[in-house]
């Protein structure tokens, strides 16, 4: 069950939004129509498969590992695979003729790249065949309360992506509540289609509390991708119930083949 935001949280969201208005950070109409998947009812492990982006972002991943990842995605009908840019072309080759998407990352995992570098990386991965792009925000700028820099960074990547959906990784484990709220509002204003909890490479992975907060901020306006540390069915289901519409998992096969049956 999704919790409704309390009055204090609503006031805080409104206050931060008004601050962004004062900075002239306009809301951008996305190049593509936002079509946010509705939260699904999950009764058994395989119900999660259409929400899962089967993920392998480890630096030691090999071509053989990526081929195996794609084979598993086809076998279990996952939403897609999420791979590093160097493997986008291979993933597209392996998934040709299927409905599995190829998702890749930009400015990963630190978000500390120069914006122009993120823009060029975005263009290159799309040329290679990426169907979706997950970008990391400049986390230090957000913590500096430099909303304009974060907004411009996201907007530049969104513009470079054109009709390709962009997910904005906020790295929630490194942020205070007000910073999480600000990151979600900035992603929405800059034209992103999703907000994503984390890279899985930092302090901690995703939590139900993170997802509930993000849902309170973006409502049904953006999708929410939970990622990082999702290793079992119960955790995955709880994240979906909290408001996640996508899941980034490396333990995807383990999750959907658990014998536990609910309902």
Q: What share of the chain is helix, strand, coil (3-state, %, to 5)?
A: 45, 15, 40
- Helix axis angle, 177-189 relative to 7-22, nearest 10°? 50
Residue 82 and residue 74 in contact, taking contact as beta carbons nearer than 8 Å: no
Q: Which residue has the higher pLDDT, 263 or 19?
A: 19
Question: 3-class SS at 34?
Answer: coil
40 tagged catalytic: no
Kindly give, in sequence order, each residue whose CB lies less than 8 Å from that of residue 72, ignoring residues fewer than 6 positions away.
54, 78, 252, 253
Q: Is the pLDDT of residue 12 over 80?
A: yes
Catalytic residue selected from 118, 134, 153, 212:
134
Catalytic residue selected from 196, 210, 212, 215:
196
Dist. CA 50–CA 66, nearest whole Å: 19
Dist. CA 186–CA 154, nearest whole Å: 8
134 tagged catalytic: yes
Catalytic residue selected from 118, 180, 212, 225:
225
Q: Quick one: pLDDT at residue 221?
A: 93
144 tagged catalytic: no
Tell me the two tokens of residue 9.
């949280």
Q: What is the distance of C-alpha 228 from the center of its chain?
A: 10
Q: Quick one: pLDDT at residue 35?
A: 58
Q: Is the pLDDT of residue 17 over 80?
A: yes
Per-residue confidence band for 153, with pLDDT thresholds at 50, 70 and 90:
very high
Q: What percentage of the chain has pLDDT greater than the value 90? A: 88
User: What is the value of pTM for the model shown?
Assistant: 0.94
């Amino acid at each position: 069950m999704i919790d409704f935001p309390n009055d204090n949280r609503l006031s805080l969201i409104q206050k931060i939004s008004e601050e962004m208005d004062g900075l002239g950070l306009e809301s951008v109409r996305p190049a593509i129509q936002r079509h946010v998947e509705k939260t699904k009812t999950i009764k058994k492990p395989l119900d999660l498969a259409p929400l899962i982006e089967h993920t392998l972002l480890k630096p030691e991943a090999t071509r053989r590992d990526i081929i195996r990842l794609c084979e598993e995605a086809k076998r279990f009908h996952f939403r897609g695979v999420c791979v590093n840019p160097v493997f986008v072309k291979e993933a597209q080759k392996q998934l040709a003729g299927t409905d599995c998407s190829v998702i890749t990352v930009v400015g990963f995992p630190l978000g500390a790249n120069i914006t122009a570098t993120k823009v060029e990386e975005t263009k290159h991965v799309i040329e290679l065949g990426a169907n979706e792009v997950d970008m990391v925000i400049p986390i230090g700028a957000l913590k500096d309360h430099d909303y304009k820099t974060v907004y411009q960074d996201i907007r530049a990547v969104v513009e470079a992506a054109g009709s390709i959906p962009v997910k904005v990784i906020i790295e929630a484990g490194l942020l205070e509540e007000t910073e999480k709220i600000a990151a979600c509002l900035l992603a929405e204003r800059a034209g992103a289609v999703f907000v994503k909890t984390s890279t899985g490479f930092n302090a901690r992975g995703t939590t139900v509390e993170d997802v509930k907060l993000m849902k309170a901020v973006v409502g049904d306006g953006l999708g929410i991708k939970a990622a990082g540390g999702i290793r079992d069915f119960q955790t995955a289901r709880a994240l979906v119930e909290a408001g996640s519409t996508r899941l980034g998992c490396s333990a995807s096969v383990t999750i959907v083949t658990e014998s536990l049956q609910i309902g």
